[in-house]
Amino acid sequence: MTIVYRYITIQISKYFSIVLAFVVGIYLAVDFFEKVDDFMEAGIPVVKMLYFFTLEIPFVVAQIIPICILMSVLIVFSLMARNNEIVALKSSGIKIFYLFKPVFIIGCLASIVLFVLTDSIVPITMSRFNEIWLKDVRKESTMITREKNIWIKGDRRITNIKFFNPKNKVIYGVTDYKFDKNFRLVRRIDAENGVFEKGEWLLHGLMEQDLDAKDGKYNITFHKDKIENLNFSPRDLNRVAKESDEMTFRELLSYIRKIEREGYDATIYKVDLDAKIAFPFICIIMCMVGTGLSTRGKMKEGMPVVIAYGIGTAFIYWIFYSFCLSLGYGEMLPPVVAAWTANIAFFCFGALTLLNAD
């Protein structure tokens, strides 16, 4: 490794660590002050509260690694430009693409780390994180999910849902049990599916069994459509349904295949599956953008301008990326296109900035 490469690598690593620690610290501090009252009301011990926020760190790190990479590259090269080091290197015949080589390697390593983090560590920590928040802090109704099956326990009532589509607010394979104070089954309903409309569940293809207290037999009736007052809402199901962030790539792929075999819509999960691959590549793209912007010789205005460039670029990317994913969720774009459009657009932008800088 040459002296220039070693210098760039050390400086980027140093500023990356500083920015990462600073952003994670601010995020956790804000989140702590927002949730500390809830923990105190729930009587959660301090040790468990600290454990809760520790579980959040991998998710936060995974979200901000790209912007930290961008900021560190911008800071290093802007400082070099301000000290006329970039001009000196160019005068010696060194091209911008020569300076970009160690940055590119750092971006590749960051992409690998980000993929491993989101695929191996974040699913485990976020699952435990959500469990503590919902059950111990918020004291939500007992809900258990395993793959597609969602079980909801209320006051002498148990409901099972085979599959929930959060996009359309549709539930499939609904079975609802009601019990008396002696835990004897007094009513059972089975429905093919249900839609949440105007604050109520409209169930389709419903079979109702009611216990006759006199003879102890169940009366069975069928309904094409019927409104039922179930003890949950789509918001509750959004919290209990297993999120893509809580599944590894292989688990999510297996989950998609299973629900498609049973005839359910897996569009949302397909978009998230492609996004698991596409998102880590943004580290490489941010390295291109950062190098191109900061080596043009126009970044001598000071650190506030550099920070503004970084935050602005990351903000535009995140808005565009989220917008594309939303189009994919709404089936307006194929999942692969929705996940990769933002990356392709910013890759072109990064390539142009590098060409102009040289």
Two structure tokens written together for 160: 């099972």
d(CA 65, CA 108): 12
Quick check: is 251 in a domain?
no
Whether residue 9 is found in the same domain as residue 124: yes
Q: Which residue has the tokens 């800088």?
A: 357
Asked which of 240, 272, 293 is the last residue of a domain, the reply is 240
Nearest to 224 by CA among 192, 267, 269, 183: 192
Q: How many domains does the chain have?
A: 2
Asked which of 211, 240, 269 is the last residue of a domain, the reply is 240
What radius of gyration, in Å, describes the C-alpha atoms of the chain? 26
Quick check: is 25 in a domain?
yes
- Provide the residue range defining the domain that includes 169: 148-240
* Residue 24 contacts residue 30 (beta carbons within 8 Å): no
Nearest to 141 by CA among 155, 127, 120, 126: 155
Handedness of CA 20, 21, 24, 30 (dihedral sign): negative
Q: What is the pLDDT of residue 232?
A: 78
Q: What is the pLDDT of residue 146?
A: 45
To the question of pTM greater than 0.95 for the whole model, the response is no
Whether residue 133 is found in the same domain as residue 161: no
Long-range CB contact pairs, 215-223, < 8 A, 24+: 218/188
* Residue 220 contacts residue 109 (beta carbons within 8 Å): no
Q: What is the pLDDT of residue 161?
A: 87
Asked which of 181, 211, 240 is the last residue of a domain, the reply is 240
Q: What is the pLDDT of residue 321?
A: 93
The one-letter amino acid at 351: A
Strand (E) or helix (H) holding 249: helix 249-261
Whether residue 123 is found in the same domain as residue 263: yes
Whether residue 283 is found in the same domain as residue 334: yes
Q: What is the pLDDT of residue 13?
A: 92
Quick check: is 133 in a domain?
yes
Burial class of residue 268 in the structure, from the number of CB atoms within 10 Å of its CB (0-12 exposed, 13-18 middle, 19+ buried): buried
Q: Can you give the pLDDT of all 358 residues of the chain as single tens digits?
A: 688 888 889 999 999 999 999 999 999 999 999 888 888 887 888 898 899 999 999 999 999 999 999 989 888 888 887 777 777 877 777 777 788 889 999 999 999 999 999 888 988 888 888 778 877 777 655 444 444 578 777 777 888 888 887 767 788 889 999 888 878 888 899 999 899 887 888 999 999 988 887 777 888 899 889 888 887 778 777 655 666 777 888 888 888 887 787 677 788 889 999 999 999 999 999 998 888 877 765 555 566 777 787 788 888 999 999 999 999 988 889 999 999 999 999 999 988 888 877 6
φ/ψ of 323, rounded to 5, equals: -65, -45
Count of helices and strands (H, E) across the chain? 11, 7
Q: What is the pLDDT of residue 142?
A: 44
